[in-house]
Chain A
Amino acid sequence: MDHALAVLVGLFIALGVYLLLSRSIIRMLLGVTIFGNGVNLLIFTAGRLTREVAPIVPEGLDHPAGPIANPLPQALILTAIVIGFAMFSFLLVLAYRAYQGLDADNTDTMRVAEPEDAPRPPLSY
């Protein structure tokens, strides 16, 4: 199971990187999301996969009765999902605004901040 998930993580990250190398911002956004999900799966796998019960302590005991599933990676992933979603939403709105303001979805034509005909270095002293 671990091996299958490791391969899946690799696929996710490869796909994310492939999409991030695109010039189209929408594809880059999809790439960021897929990459992030690959990382979340990686954390999940790193926390050791077990077929156990939820980590709930029964009434009257001060520790779980038997083996339990590791709750920490799930908490980490939950945090990462929330943060990743917030970032994704911002970038989505930014991409839309950039499309409106710069009339460009192609990163190659976004040359306002770094003009293509860059001036020569000043030669005077």
Chain B
Amino acid sequence: MVQSSFDVFTLWKEIYNKTENIWNNTLQETLEKKIFAESLGQIQSQYVQYQELVNKLTESYLKQANLPTRDEIANVASLIINVDSKIDQLEDEFDAQRDRIIKEIENLRKSVSSLEKKLDKVIELLNQTLEAAEESKTSIAAAGNKTVSK
């Protein structure tokens, strides 16, 4: 059975809320000081030096154990990335060429279509000329016949 009791979480929250500002102001003052930045820099330097030592020891161990080091594995990965980049460039080049070809084909299509229209016009004009010539020929012949029959 669940019994109601004193809630430690509420108390914890109340204590935190009441003291947060005081602590924050004190901490903030410290964090803003130049001396803090200097100390932080020193701690960082020591940590980085420790990391440097770990890196050297690890590399030396891997070499002695005849195992590939992090640099060597990274070099292989770099080679793969280079190939990836080249494929990317080729893809870009291919896209650019394809766009250019599509544009050229489109221009050609327009030119051919315009030529077709022009040719149609020429044919139409030729037909009209031929028809006119035929008509005039017929009318001349008819006029000639009339003259002969008179």
Question: A and B bound?
Answer: no
> A-side interface residues toward B, CB under 8 Å?
none
